């Protein structure tokens, strides 16, 4: 299966425009033969609103237009989708990642743990647990933007089923001013966890800053993989996951078996 990163611009606060633009991109990816059934598509953090910290931009989780759109697109194309949405849940705001299965069901939910200093930390409620999703024979760890800077939080380990995760997914609004940092971090996270890492960032600008993409598909050796496609001005990256290769690499060089065990205290 492939993982496809859609490096879209986001129109600040205009959900309808953003959903329509992304629907056009998905349609084109299918028509080009890039996106096929069972593939996984990543959209940037807060893909339908932008980096929202205004109550009027945050919908309730139940009946959320963007979440329902993700479900419809997953069913329409037979794909999985991962991105985050700003949601109101029981009176609290969360930057919440949703992993949607091809049948339109929610396969996994992850609340962003590390809230950026200042407004985000005051406006949103931080997540308290890591989240993994099993899909199509792969275990995916869910991650959002600033979480990328904190290696202990995303540290690979054996989960309840006795397996390590295979892939870390990070959807982001990572600014141009710190893009050089993300290029280093994505390789570090992939190599230290012996996992694929996919970093899906946005382009364009909002009232806060500018964004220049820099999305990346990285294999467990820290190498860039995948192929770039221009979809009507939107850069997309498609990369194939290789089960035989990652299993062989981990068996030949079993770093994860030598990792320190630890307990993480989450406040």
Domain-located, residue 143? yes
- State the pLDDT confidence band at 56, using cuts at 50, 70 and 90: confident
Mean pLDDT across the stretch 68-85?
99
Question: pLDDT value at position 69?
Answer: 99
Domains contained in the chain, number: 1
Which residue in 242, 239, 261, 260 sits closest to 250, CA to CA? Answer: 242
Which residue in 146, 141, 87, 98 sits closest to 121, CA to CA? Answer: 146
Average pLDDT, the chain: 96
Helix (H, G, I), strand (E, B) or coil at 57: helix
Q: What residues pair up with 72 in beta bridges, in sequence order?
A: none
For residue 251, count CB atoms less than 10 angstroms from its CB and return exposed for 0-12, middle for 13-18, buried for 19 or more.
Answer: exposed
Question: pLDDT value at position 214?
Answer: 98
- State the pLDDT confidence band at 52, using cuts at 50, 70 and 90: confident
Question: pLDDT value at position 9?
Answer: 98
| 45 is annotated as an active-site residue | yes
Question: pLDDT value at position 147?
Answer: 98
First to last CA, the chain: 37
Domain-located, residue 29? yes
Domain-located, residue 267? no
| 236 is annotated as an active-site residue | no
**Residue pLDDT, tens place only, 129-185:** 999 999 999 999 999 999 999 999 999 999 999 999 999 999 999 999 999 999 999
Mean pLDDT across the stretch 216-236?
98
Question: pLDDT value at position 264?
Answer: 87
Domain-located, residue 265? no
Statement: residue 99 has pLDDT above 90: yes
Question: pLDDT value at position 195?
Answer: 99
Domain-located, residue 266? no
The C-alpha atoms of residue 62 and residue 129 are separated, in whole angstroms, by: 22
Q: Which of 7, 45, 59, 120 is catalytic?
A: 45
| 112 is annotated as an active-site residue | yes
Least confident of 69-78, 83-92, 230-239, 257-266: 257-266
Q: Which of 2, 21, 71, 112 is catalytic?
A: 112
- Is the distance from CB of 243 to CB of 2 less than 8 angstroms? no
CATH number of 141's domain: 3.60.110.10
Mean pLDDT across the stretch 6-19?
97
**Residue pLDDT, tens place only, 201-216:** 999 999 989 999 999 9
Domain-located, residue 223? yes
Domain-located, residue 39? yes
Domain-located, residue 170? yes
Question: Is the pTM here over 0.95, yes or no?
Answer: yes
Statement: residue 267 has pLDDT above 80: no
Question: pLDDT value at position 73?
Answer: 99
| Domain extent at residue 243 | 2-258
- Is the distance from CB of 123 to CB of 116 less than 8 angstroms? no
Mean pLDDT across the stretch 20-36?
99
> Which residues lie below 8 Å from residue 4, measured CB to CB, with a gap of 6+?
29, 34, 35, 39, 40, 41, 42, 236, 237, 238, 239
Q: Which of 46, 145, 200, 236 is catalytic?
A: 145
């Amino acid at each position: 299966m492939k993982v496809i990163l859609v490096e879209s611009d986001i129109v600040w606060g205009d959900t309808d425009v953003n959903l329509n633009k992304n629907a056009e991109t998905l349609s084109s990816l299918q028509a080009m033969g890039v996106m096929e059934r069972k593939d996984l598509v990543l959209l940037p953090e807060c893909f339908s609103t932008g980096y929202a910290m205004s109550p009027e931009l945050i919908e309730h989780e139940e009946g959320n237009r963007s979440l329902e759109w993700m479900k419809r697109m997953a069913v329409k194309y037979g794909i999985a989708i991962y991105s985050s949405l700003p949601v109101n849940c029981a009176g609290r705001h969360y930057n919440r990642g949703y992993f949607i299965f091809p049948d339109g069901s929610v396969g996994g939910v992850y609340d962003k743990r590390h809230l950026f200093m200042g407004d985000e930390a005051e406006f949103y409620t931080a997540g308290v647990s890591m989240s993994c999703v099993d899909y199509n024979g792969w275990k995916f760890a869910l991650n959002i933007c600033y979480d990328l800077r904190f290696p202990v939080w995303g540290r690979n380990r054996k989960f309840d089923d006795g397996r390590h995760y295979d892939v870390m997914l990070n959807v982001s609004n990572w600014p141009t001013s710190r893009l050089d940092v993300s290029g280093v971090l994505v390789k570090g996270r992939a190599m230290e966890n012996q996992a694929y890492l996919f970093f899906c960032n946005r382009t364009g600008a909002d009232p806060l800053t500018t964004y220049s993409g820099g999305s990346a598909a990285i294999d467990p050796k820290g190498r860039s993989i995948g192929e770039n496609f221009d979809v009507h001005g939107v850069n997309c990256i498609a990369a194939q996951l290789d089960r035989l290769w990652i299993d062989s690499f981990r068996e030949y060089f079993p770093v994860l078996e030598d990792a320190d065990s630890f307990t993480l205290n989450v406040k």
